[in-house]
Structure 1
Amino acid sequence: MDALRANLTEKKDLSEIELAWGRKDADDSMKERRVLESLQPSVNLVKLAIRSYGGTSFPNWLGDSSFSNIKVMGLSGFSNCWSLPPVGQLPALKELYISNMKCVMSIGAEFYGVNGTSLIQPFRCLEKLQFIEMPEWEEWLPSPGRGQCPDFPRLEELVLQKCPKLRGNLPDHLPCLKKLQVYHCWVLHERATRSRWIPWSLIVNTESLRQSLQDLEITGCPGLSSLLETESLSSFSVLEIQIFSRTDCLQPHLSSRLQNLTLRNCGSLLSFPRNGLPTTLNSLYILECRRLEFLSHEMMAKLTSLRDLCLIDSCDSLRSFPLGVFPKLSSLDIWGSKNLESLSIGEGADHENVTHLDSLSINDCPNLVSFPHGGLPTPNLARFTVYGCENLKLLPDRIHTLTALRDLEMFGLPNVESFAEGGLPPNLQSFQISGCEKLRPSMEYWGSQRLVSLRTFDISKSEDVLETVLKEQLLPTTLHTLRISGMKSLKSLEGKGLQHLTSLQQLQIYECDSLKFLPKEGLPASLSCLGIYTCPSLMKRCQEKTGEEWSKIAHIPCIHIGDQVIIN
């Protein structure tokens, strides 16, 4: 009755009705079908989403061609439906997202909205199609009676994700397909026992893809290896390959148009093609490919367009990384490189090449001990992160000369004792320290009063550093945000280091189990927001009006103590 009274059919201005059933409502499939039938919207609808529908069938309006304005549709979590609604006859439908259909085993004529004799082209405007988490889906049948006409004449993007039983008979003619993403469809394209199931690699019209497919991403789908034969597919600009066991998943001649290449979890991959990678490459991401031998010096020098390079848990043979070999590299991330010992400019490399570097991140490289002698000749470096390098003792020489550096992050560096002579970069805006127990800050080396641009200081798991900061007033008065966390034995924030921060707006304190006392002098009058989280002793002492520390924070306009919010 509620659905009928809503009278959605007459609401002509309604352009978007997301219909969602809660778990408690999903107890009567017949009632749910009647509710959905009664919620028939106006034919002027443009977007429709239906979630967690528990009916076993669909009302006639869902998919009816009279809904000539629907462009986007999302269907998810249908728990009792064995088939999909006949949405193929929606004339304006451009995007269709289908997910978590637990009972659907086959997709066929009902999906296209044809009865075997209809000559109407299904999905005439569809450009994007996604199927995600279809655990029982086994076959995808073509539209009956279509002959040589494609079922999806304008489809540009096809995504298949987590369809573990899907084997074959995918659309065999996709003339406009530009992007294909297939994730964790483990048996896709394997030969099956039923005669009508054959690998897509044998029936797909690769000729139709030759000029169209630009973006191919394959994860956990070994049967798709034939699509990597670049003799038939030479138009790739984006290629992502994941969880491949073949040692030759990179063909000798990659697309000459390739711009973005991602290799993930290709455990058997040993080397790049002998003739290197396409010079058109803009980004290269290598993840979990430990046996892969990194590019040779000659190959690196030819990558004149490469801007972004990311190595994560890969290329274990790499011991020294030559920064200056790539002519235009602007972003470099190296994570989990077990044997990396140093970063260098590179033999015969040009210092000019390093001037493009904007972001440098070195994470979890336990054997890293040195940076280039004389410092980093990277005048445009804006972000520098060093994390989890337990044997590193010194940051790069002359780091204070990096005048473009805005963000500096030092995490998990237990043996770094000080900055090199000259102090911190003068134009820092954000500075984060965590797990640097031996670091000894001082006015001489930090030069903190020169840091007039510093707005955020974040310190964690470095109690000696914090105590020195609070005692010697090392932070600049221009600081806007201060975050303190993970100080397990810290009992007090005593010192004049906070009181002199006359521009401080936000103070956030997390996970300081023993912390009880705020400074006797109180907190800066400029504070507009104070947050205290997972600090049981301090949270108790800062309770409104009754806590021993309340008088020190009562002037702050907004206070968060755990889940409690106090507005003064």
Structure 2
Amino acid sequence: MPVQMGRLKSLRTLTTFFVGKSNGSTIGELRELSHLEGRLSILKLNNVVDGRDALQANLKNKKDLKELELAWGSEDADHSEKVRDVLDKLQPCMNLEKLTVKLYGGTSFPNWLGDSTFNKIKVMRLEGCHYCFELPPLGQLPALKELFICKMKFLRTLGPELYGQPFQPFQSLERLEFKEMAEWEEWVPSGSGGPDFPRLQELILEKCPKLRGSLPCDLPCLKKLSVEGCGVLHDQRATAATSTSTNLNYNSLQDLKIKDGCQTGLLSLLETKLLSRLRITNFNDIQCLPNINRLQSLALQNCPTLSSFPEDGLPTSLTSLGIYSCRRLEFLPHEMLAKLTSLDYLSINDSCDSMRSFPLGIFPKLTTLTISNCENLESLCLIEEEGAVENLSHLNQLDIFGCPNLVCFPQGGLPTPNLTQLDFNKCDKLKSLPERIHTLTTLQYLAIRDLPNLESIAEDGGLPPNLRYFIIENCERLRALSSSVGDYCNWGLQALVSLKYLNIGGMGSDEILETLLKQQLLPTTLHNLRIDELSTLKSLDGKGLAHLTSLQELFIFRCDSIQFLPGEALQHLTSLQLLYIYDCPSLQFLPEEALQHLTSLQTLVIGGCDSIQFLPEEGLPPSLSYLSISNCSALKKRYENKTGQDWAKISHIPCITIDEEVII
């Protein structure tokens, strides 16, 4: 910190103050800064000599401070009394609204922490206070709404000392979080006769592996409960009888998340009347889900023993269903699926090994369907039921990833008149896209990636007419079979006046791009062209590139063989605003005069192009506002800040970064 900061007596904003040692800025520099307001973090408090030194900070008189962080650089139990004295003397003004204490090394907290006279504190965070055996009486803070306790490794029991003396503690607390409490074993109620947390809406417990017994039984306003890594918690209902509260009151619970551990007892909370969202992750001892009423969102993840849903099926109120890494789970039969008339979102990932065919059209309101890493899936089919086609009218997103045995779609194409996104990725056996894809007139996004056996994409009418984003990567067989210009013309790219973004790359895409540029088959309306991993491409055809007069962004990534860019073509790209060239080790220079004609160019990024020795001698366009150079040793040396031989040629650019260091 700058020395003699204490002389700035009218200073109002100081977000961070680092306490120095004897030859630096001591904490006494804060004494006269009585007008500080807003937020202040005081760090490296381990450099404070003793409590008398801390008292000089005069925090009590800083009445306009609303947020205060007190942090030590390390916790040291050998100096516990000194550290406690320092924190005691750092007592802030009672107008404080948020307090954070980090890496405090004392074994107990000073009396002011938790005093009810701090009646404006709304947020309290205690982090890394390892050596404290108990918490201060935070239940006495009348305005406290959020409490976060983290990494108190010596705390074993949470009991009456937390609640304090009032008849009803934590009158305003809405969010309570305990995280990484390695030795915490027991949570004892206050015994006040009423709920200990009458307004608590969200309770989060994470990585408290020794916590046993039960959670507080009376949480009348709790809406969200998240329990992760607390494997020994008992069944809530089993312990309710021995609790001071005679009834388990979680009747407002809407969102339940259980992760990591064998907490099957918590599943009794599924009977709460308002529960609408359930997430179960990393369960090793559950085979069948219990009956669940009124549920709207269900996510199951990494439950290797789970094999079945409830006998009566899932609740008809369900709108979102995600199944992840549940390979033994038997997917619901058609008659049960048909009851999910409200389902809007369905995602199946690495699950349901028995599923070989997925019945499209069974969910009348489904808008998003994602199926990924289902190795045995062979087909998407239409069920032969009345209304099946009509049921697909809501579907607007269909993503199929990592299904190596998928080979076919419904005959005649997808009857999805409102589909806007279609994405196929890593489907090894897929040879063609759905028939009549041109009839999907609302489709805006089409991605085909890592489809090594894809032979055709638009044989019978071209691509969808309103396509805006088209991604084609690693479709090597498509290259081999589309050897004539006529095949590419059948795609109908020229007619796609709405197409703004084209990403082309990977195996087989070199010849595709060369043909599209050579024959000027790309629409002139294209705004963004991304070329990626074309290993044999040596140059871009100037004729086709100059044709793209509306192009605003050009990305060239990982093209190992490209040696030069067509200067005559580039100078026609007067709408180009961004030029991004990265990992092109064979590229030796940028066109000398072409860049001068790019009158709209604002951003130029060059990275991983070690063969480029210098930027164009004629200079860069005056419109350029940002230049980035990285991993280009010759350019870095030549244009180094002030010392490079050509620094003067770029020094006028408003923002320059070299190897991620901001120069200007």
TM-score, structure 1 as length reference: 0.88
Please tell me the residue identity of whatever aligns with 1:530: L
> How many angstroms does 1:155 deviate by?
1.3
Please tell me the residue identity of whatever aligns with 1:437: E
Please tell me the residue identity of whatever aligns with 1:109: P
More moved, 263-272 vs 518-527: 518-527
C-alpha contact 2:288 2:309 (8 A) present in aligned 1: no
Aligned to 1:174: 219
Aligned to 2:304: 267
What are the Cα deviations for residues 172-227 of structure 1, in whole angstroms up to 9, with x where unaligned?
32222222111121222289xxxxxx975765669443632222221123233353
Aligned partner (choices 340, 347, 352) of residue 303 of structure 1: 340
Instruction: List alignment gaps of at least 5 residues for structure 2.
Output: 1-25, 34-57, 591-605, 640-649, 655-664
1:429 aligns with 2:462: no
| Residues 320 and 546 of structure 1: CA distance in aligned 2, closer, same or farther (over 3 Å) | closer
Aligned to 1:528: 577
> How many angstroms does 1:452 deviate by?
1.9
What SS class does the counterpart of residue 278 from structure 2 fall into?
A: strand
Please tell me the residue identity of whatever aligns with 1:2: I
More moved, 220-229 vs 343-352: 220-229
1:318 aligns with 2:369: no
| Residues 207 and 405 of structure 1: CA distance in aligned 2, closer, same or farther (over 3 Å) | farther
Alignment of 1:351-370 (within 5 A): 351-370=389-408
C-alpha contact 1:531 1:559 (8 A) present in aligned 2: no
What SS class does the counterpart of residue 178 from structure 2 fall into?
A: strand
Aligned to 1:76: 127
What SS class does the counterpart of residue 568 from structure 2 fall into?
A: coil
> How many angstroms does 1:438 deviate by?
2.4
C-alpha contact 1:512 1:534 (8 A) present in aligned 2: yes
Residue correspondences, number? 553
Aligned to 1:228: 268
What SS class does the counterpart of residue 148 from structure 2 fall into?
A: strand
What are the Cα deviations for residues 272-296 of structure 1, in whole angstroms up to 9, with x where unaligned?
2222111111111111111111111
Aligned to 2:177: 130
Structure 2: how far apart are the matches of 1:527 and 1:351? 44
| Residues 553 and 450 of structure 1: CA distance in aligned 2, closer, same or farther (over 3 Å) | farther
| Residues 539 and 190 of structure 1: CA distance in aligned 2, closer, same or farther (over 3 Å) | farther
1:560 aligns with 2:628: yes
C-alpha contact 2:564 2:589 (8 A) present in aligned 1: no
What SS class does the counterpart of residue 135 from structure 1 fall into?
A: coil
> How many angstroms does 1:313 deviate by?
0.6
More moved, 362-371 vs 172-181: 172-181
Percent of pairs with identical residues: 54
What are the Cα deviations for residues 429-468 of structure 1, in whole angstroms up to 9, with x where unaligned?
2222222222347542221222222222222314323333
Structure 2: how far apart are the matches of 1:75 and 1:515? 56
Structure 1: how far apart are the matches of 2:135 and 2:583? 48
Structure 2: how far apart are the matches of 1:25 and 1:102? 14
Alignment of 1:435-454 (within 5 A): 435-440=474-479, 442-454=487-499
| Residues 77 and 411 of structure 1: CA distance in aligned 2, closer, same or farther (over 3 Å) | farther
What are the Cα deviations for residues 406-448 of structure 1, in whole angstroms up to 9, with x where unaligned?
2112121111122122222122222222222223475422212
Alignment of 1:322-401 (within 5 A): 322-349=359-386, 350-401=388-439
Aligned to 1:195: none
C-alpha contact 2:167 2:192 (8 A) present in aligned 1: no
Structure 1: how far apart are the matches of 2:519 and 2:102? 58
1:480 aligns with 2:509: no
> How many angstroms does 1:56 deviate by?
4.3
What SS class does the counterpart of residue 267 from structure 2 fall into?
A: helix
Aligned partner (choices 390, 399, 403) of residue 441 of structure 2: 403
| Residues 171 and 431 of structure 1: CA distance in aligned 2, closer, same or farther (over 3 Å) | same
Structure 2: how far apart are the matches of 1:44 and 1:507? 54
C-alpha contact 1:455 1:481 (8 A) present in aligned 2: yes
Aligned partner (choices 514, 517, 542) of residue 564 of structure 2: 517
Aligned partner (choices 121, 136, 160) of residue 205 of structure 2: 160
| Residues 237 and 520 of structure 1: CA distance in aligned 2, closer, same or farther (over 3 Å) | same
Please tell me the residue identity of whatever aligns with 2:412: G
| Residues 210 and 189 of structure 1: CA distance in aligned 2, closer, same or farther (over 3 Å) | closer
| Residues 508 and 97 of structure 1: CA distance in aligned 2, closer, same or farther (over 3 Å) | farther
Aligned to 2:147: 96
What SS class does the counterpart of residue 16 from structure 1 fall into?
A: strand
Aligned to 1:107: 158
C-alpha contact 1:222 1:244 (8 A) present in aligned 2: yes
1:10 aligns with 2:61: yes
Structure 1: how far apart are the matches of 2:583 and 2:89? 49
Structure 2: how far apart are the matches of 1:170 and 1:357? 42
Structure 1: how far apart are the matches of 2:618 and 2:229? 56
Please tell me the residue identity of whatever aligns with 2:389: H
Please tell me the residue identity of whatever aligns with 1:409: A
Structure 2: how far apart are the matches of 1:275 and 1:24? 55
Aligned to 1:240: 279
Structure 1: how far apart are the matches of 2:76 and 2:465? 61
| Residues 528 and 129 of structure 1: CA distance in aligned 2, closer, same or farther (over 3 Å) | same
C-alpha contact 2:493 2:521 (8 A) present in aligned 1: yes
What SS class does the counterpart of residue 470 from structure 1 fall into?
A: helix
Structure 2: how far apart are the matches of 1:470 and 1:206? 76
C-alpha contact 1:215 1:237 (8 A) present in aligned 2: yes
| Residues 24 and 179 of structure 1: CA distance in aligned 2, closer, same or farther (over 3 Å) | closer
Structure 1: how far apart are the matches of 2:521 and 2:79? 67
C-alpha contact 2:427 2:450 (8 A) present in aligned 1: yes
Please tell me the residue identity of whatever aligns with 2:406: L
Structure 1: how far apart are the matches of 2:343 and 2:211? 37
More moved, 446-455 vs 156-165: 446-455
Instruction: List alignment gaps of at least 5 residues for structure 1.
Output: 192-197
Aligned to 1:547: 613
What SS class does the counterpart of residue 162 from structure 2 fall into?
A: helix
Structure 1: how far apart are the matches of 2:349 and 2:241? 35
> How many angstroms does 1:545 deviate by?
13
C-alpha contact 2:181 2:208 (8 A) present in aligned 1: yes
Structure 1: how far apart are the matches of 2:542 and 2:78? 63
Aligned to 2:253: 213
Aligned to 2:594: none
Structure 1: how far apart are the matches of 2:513 and 2:412? 30
Structure 2: how far apart are the matches of 1:206 and 1:309? 40
Aligned partner (choices 268, 284, 287) of residue 324 of structure 2: 287
